Amino acid sequence: MKINVEIDFNKQPDDVDVLHYMVLTMCVLDKGTVEAFLNDVETTEEDVLVLFEILNQLQNLMYIKLVSSEDWTTIELRKKATDLFPENKGASFDEFWEKYHEIAKKPKTDKEAAFKHWKRLKSSEQQKALDNIENYITFVVSTQGRAFIKKARTYLADKNFNDEFGTNENEDWTKNHV
């Protein structure tokens, strides 16, 4: 394998450079460790040096974290890196916004504030927030009434998507109060 990447390590890489570097990094991650990647493909000594230069630069730019020991190196992606890949991004805010208000039957207010809270969530939390809208609203309506459904921004800020819905304790409360 020949790593055909021309790199000027004296300048700050642009977004395209970083994306190319990250694709290479993802190939390395697929093998588990840098050593496994290098053992699995034909590389020259020059390729190895270029690969480690790229990995070091990505680490300096806070895209990855290199965890090393004497005989192996693993790579941990940081959020900044995973955000470069669309398939790793969570659900879209607009999808969340529409679904939340469709199910909640509440006026669409405080969109900008809700978006600020949305951006603070990890992509996995964004997906969970979208997936648990119906569970949250069903639970609140059945236990407290529709008037107690939170605004979308508060649902995100309080991370109500992490709540447990439908436990026995909640069912007992429903029987006694509804």
DSSP string covering 9-65:
TTS---HHHHHHHHHHHHHHHHHSSHHHHHHHS---HHHHHHHHHHHHHHHHTTSEE
Residue 4 in any domain: the answer is no
Residues 118 and 151 in one domain: yes
Residue-wise pLDDT for 35-49, tens only, equals 666 666 677 777 777
Residues 77 and 152 in one domain: no
Last residue of a domain, one of 39, 59, 86: 86
pTM, two decimals, is 0.48
CB 80 within 8 A of CB 62: yes
- Domains identified in the chain, total number: 2
Last residue of a domain, one of 58, 86, 114: 86
Residues 127 and 163 in one domain: yes
Residues 102 and 151 in one domain: yes
Residue-wise pLDDT for 76-124, tens only, equals 777 777 666 555 445 689 999 999 999 999 999 999 999 999 988 887 8
Residues in the chain: 178
Residue 2: band (very low, low, confident or very high) from pLDDT cuts 50, 70, 90? very low
Tokens encoding 41: 């493909």
Residues 68 and 97 in one domain: no
Domain of residue 43: give its range. Answer: 15-86
Q: Pseudo-torsion of CA 129, 131, 133, 134, nearest 10°?
A: -170
